Amino acid sequence: MGFTALAALACAAGLGREAAGKAALLCGVAGGVLLLWGMLRRVIRRAPTKQKWVLPAACVCLTAGLFLGIFLRAWDKQVAPVQSFAGREGAIRATVLDYPERAYGRVYYTVRVESLRMEGERVEINPFTVRMTSWQPMDCEPYDLVECTVSFYEFDGTGGLYSTRNSRLADGVVLGAYRTGKADCILGLALPPGEIAVRLRELVGRAFAQQLPEDEAGLLRGILLGQRERVPESVYDDFLRVGVSHLLVVSGLHLSVLAALFRFLFGRLPFGRAGRNGLTALVVLVFLVVIGFPASAVRSGIMLLIFLLADSLGRETDSANSLGAAVLVICLFHPFAGGDLGFALSAMATLGILLFARELTGLVLRPFGNRPGLRRALRPVAGVLGVNLSVLVMCLPIQMLVFRGLPLIAPLANLVLIFPCQLLLYLAIPPAVLGLMPALQPLAAPFAFCAGWLARVIFRLARWLAALPGVFLDLTEPLLLLALGLTPIFLFFAVGMRRRKRAVCLLLAGLTATWAVGFWMVDAQRKGVVTLAVVADSSAVLMIQDNRAAVLALGGYRTDTADSLLRRANVRAVETLCMPLRDPDAREAAAELLRVYPTERLLLPEDAYVGRDLLTAAGNAEIAFVAEGETFTLLEDISGSSAPEMARTDFSVYGVQAAVETGENPGGECDLLFTTGQGSVGSVWTVLIGDGDAEAPPGSSIKPGESGLFIDIYPDGTMNVRGETDA
């Protein structure tokens, strides 16, 4: 029932309110009909029906209908009443719920709006939560009241199931807002439980920051407290690229480590089994309170509490039933959990481990069956591989839906990084606890010292793994997608043929051949193809050919966009980096790319300010200033020319005339235009870039989606569009 509830909420989040209402009605009717049919057959025949699937099917339909109804009720109560505020300005009185996040040169506050005035009149509302963007920090603490003027906006809901809107709703945030006026803060006098948890979490984070450098402290805050925003962007990108980003999400691994440590410590106390388990359960509950009850951690926490209760009563637990119960409880109290990517990955990964980990571990160890010593030595390695392969099997649909790619190096990366990260968790706990008590802080220094050095080792290992060529599989390629779809079939038959070694070898050989042919055909098809890549809400435009790249523009608050696209294309070096925009976001993105990727040349507008940040990051790269009409090299066989101030870059690829426009330009014509909305160049096809609501010039226009838009230009001049579009 738990996964039925999760599937129902996921469908509701993906389809929207109207479709969810129709689906709820359909599920309710279907469940009622099936239940009535089963009961009538039993009454008429006076014997249990032979169709044993009827009652389970009725339960599935009724459960789905119930949770779709819960979603609809939550939507009508929390979301619908405030949707009309989007695009309007109002004066709010709100409670600050947490410490601010700082990113992209802005400060982000999570606030609960208590009262609202629009156009001078008070609006009757139920309190709702808003993510408020501010250019300057406000002089306030968590659970203080703040009064200011804001402009509301709706989050983007075009990214599918795990769009920005659904992700924010899963976090309890209904709308976004920009602060447009002065903020007056009122000191909160009460000390609610929520404030205690927030302050305790911040104290633990500050204890790390006082004893370690910023990057190492950020990793500890991410890995222990789940504060993803504290982890350096480059480190998180490395973890994401190699498939170990789950180590930065508080889930079963973290709670298991925490529970194992404290069960060991409490085992030395003169209490019975029930007393030790009770203390461990108390530690788990306190930890969940401190980290703010994220769904992925609550799921593992419920399973752990069920295990501790059963152990106290001398019973054994059924892990599958415990997982289902945990998912059911979360969905019951969290109607928007269907759009929570972290929760979905956590639940599916745990289900995969329960279903397949033992069989896949045995499959890895099977060739060493006649060598007991070697088999025992390899069992830990086989266990890690079995767990990761089982997680991969269950999370693959979500991976394909969200990331449009697959980190091929994930099993190796988990094998290399999981044990150091577990050790880092153990080392992070003493500084976190002792750091809260000033008199005992010196005792935390040795643990913090070791944790800092281990964090540096983890940084280097993640960077080394991420730098390996070909570690990311682009699933927008149909041939590779087909090979990926055949893989579970091969593995299923291989696991089923326990004693047929020859058949297993043939199946694995067929699997290897399928992948080899897929890679070869994709490589042959893409030889010489030039790909222009963009992503939603960013001004970054990339040109990629045969693992070489040129960056044609940078800008927008999503400063990691270009890096993500380059990693996805397995690019290891940049030939040309053009920076027509001079805003801080573009400079930050350019400096990061120069630090990470070997770059041949950096192109700037005439009289542009270079700055120490770019000079330091550029290293041996050539820095050139481009004059109006000057021709420069983008890739080996592709050149471009510049309009004044590099407001437009013109280039030709296999006869296709293209341009990237980031400012006002004299008129012109081209076949393919990337524009922030200036509208001065006519084009056959227009791609809207940037984070604003740009108006395209006349002609056909498209806007990239969250997962990226890729335009392939073939040597014969034909074009192919891959990826996601919003228009």
- In 206-237, which positions are buried (b, 16+ CB within 10 angstroms) versus exposed (e)? ebbbebbeebbbbbbbbbbbbbbebbeebbbb
Asked if residue 74 and residue 130 are part of one domain, the reply reads no
- For CA atoms 391, 396, 402, 407, give the dihedral sign: positive
Q: Are residues 127 and 249 in the same domain?
A: no
What is the number of other CB atoms lying within 10 angstroms of the CB of residue 288? 21
Q: In this predicted model, which residue has the larger pLDDT, 44 or 269?
A: 269
Alpha-carbon span 576 to 541, nearest angstrom: 12
Task: Identify the H or E element spanning 128.
Answer: strand 128-134
| pTM of the predicted structure, to 2 decimals | 0.74
Residues 301 and 330: their CA atoms lie apart, in Å, by 11
Q: Determine what percent of the chain is predicted with pLDDT higher than 70.
A: 84
pLDDT of residue 418: 82
pLDDT at 47 over 60: no
Question: Are residues 511 and 451 located together in one domain of the fold?
Answer: no
The pair of three-digit structure tokens given for residue 241, joined into one six-digit string: 């690229």
Q: How many residues does the chain have?
A: 727
Does pLDDT of 49 surpass 50? no
Lowest mean pLDDT among 288-302, 446-460, 467-481: 467-481
CB distance 142 to 111 below 8 Å: no
Token pair for residue 420? 């150091």
Confidence of residue 697 (pLDDT cuts 50, 70, 90): low
Q: Which of 86-100, 172-186, 521-535 has the lowest mean pLDDT?
A: 521-535
Q: Which residue has the higher pLDDT, 399 or 225?
A: 225
Question: Both 368 and 505 in a single domain?
Answer: no
| Separation of alpha carbons 260 and 248, rounded Å | 19
Which structure tokens are listed for 509? 């050989």
Helix (H) or strand (E) holding 312: helix 295-312
The gap from C-alpha 136 to its chain's centroid, in whole angstroms, comes to 27
Q: Are residues 506 and 457 in the same domain?
A: no
| Model confidence pLDDT, tens digit, residues 146-205 | 888 989 988 877 767 778 888 888 888 999 999 888 888 887 666 676 777 788 888 888
Whole-angstrom distance between the N-terminal and C-terminal Cα of the chain? 38
Percentage of the chain exceeding pLDDT 90: 1
Highest-pLDDT range among 119-133, 497-511, 545-559:
119-133
Domain extent, residue 170, equals: 84-190
Give the CA count within 13 Å in the CB-facing half-sphere of 178: 11
Q: Which carries the bigger pLDDT value, residue 652 or residue 706?
A: 652
Confidence band for 484, pLDDT divided at 50, 70 and 90: low
Higher-pLDDT residue of 57 and 456 is 456
Tokens of 436: 């809260």
Query: Residues 244, 166: one domain?
Result: no
Identify the top-confidence range among 107-116, 151-160, 335-344: 107-116
Number of domains in the chain: 5
Is the dihedral angle over the CA atoms 477, 480, 482, 485 positive or is it negative? negative
5, 356, 10: which is closest to 160 by C-alpha? 10
Q: What is the mean pLDDT of residues 353-374?
A: 76
Across residues 130-135, what is the average pLDDT?
A: 89
Using DSSP's 3-state secondary structure scheme, residue 596 falls into: helix
**CATH code of 717's domain:** 3.60.15.10
Please classify residue 522 by burial: count the beta carbons closer than 10 Å to its beta carbon, then call 0-12 exposed, 13-18 middle and 19+ buried. Answer: middle
pLDDT, average across residues 602-627: 79
**Same domain flag for 535 and 642:** yes
Which string of b and e fits 356-389 if b means at least 16 CB within 10 Å? Answer: bbebbbebbbbebeeeeeeeeebeeebbbbbbbb
Is it the case that residue 130 has pLDDT exceeding 80? Answer: yes
51 shares a domain with 125:
no
* Lowest-pLDDT choice from 98-102, 155-159, 600-604: 155-159
Residue 48 has pLDDT above 70, yes or no: no
- pLDDT category at 692 given cuts 50, 70, 90 is low
Q: How many CA atoms lie within 13 A of 515 on its CB side?
A: 12
Q: What DSSP string runs through 652-685?
A: EETTEEEEEE-S----EEEEEEEESS---EEEEE
Whole-angstrom distance, CA of residue 414 vs CA of residue 242:
9
Question: Of 602, 633, 634, 605, which Cα lies nearest the Cα of 616?
Answer: 602
Same domain assignment for residues 399 and 285: yes
Answer yes or no: do 624 and 683 share one domain. yes
Q: Which amino acid is at 657?
A: Q
370 in the same domain as 489: no
Q: DSSP letters along 11-67, please?
A: HHHHH-HHHHHHHHHHHHHHHHHHHHHHHHHHHHHTS--S-TTHHHHHHHHHHHHHH
Beta strand residue intervals within 139-290, DSSP E: 145-153, 175-179, 184-186
- Section 251-262 average pLDDT: 79
Half-sphere exposure of 401 (CA within 13 A, CB side): 16
Pairing of strands 704-713, 530-534: antiparallel
281 and 236 co-located in one domain:
yes
Contacts of the segment 692-698: beta carbons below 8 A, 24+ positions apart: 697/673
Residue holding tokens 């088999």?
375
Mean pLDDT, the chain, integer: 79
User: Could you give the C-alpha distances from 411 to 269, 406, 564, in angstroms and in order?
Assistant: 39, 11, 21
Q: What mean pLDDT comes out for the span 535-545?
A: 80
Q: Average pLDDT in the 543-551 region?
A: 83
Q: How far apart are CA 690 and CA 682, in angstroms?
A: 18
List, in order, residues 6 or more apart from 417 with CB less than 8 Å away: 242, 244, 247, 458, 461, 462, 465
CATH number at residue 103: 2.40.50.140
How far apart are the C-alpha atoms of 585 and 581, rounded to whole Å?
Answer: 9
Q: Are 68 and 24 in contact (CB under 8 A)?
A: yes
Is the pLDDT at 620 greater than 70? The verdict is yes
SS (H, E, C) 546-566: CCEEEEEECCCCCCCHHHHHH
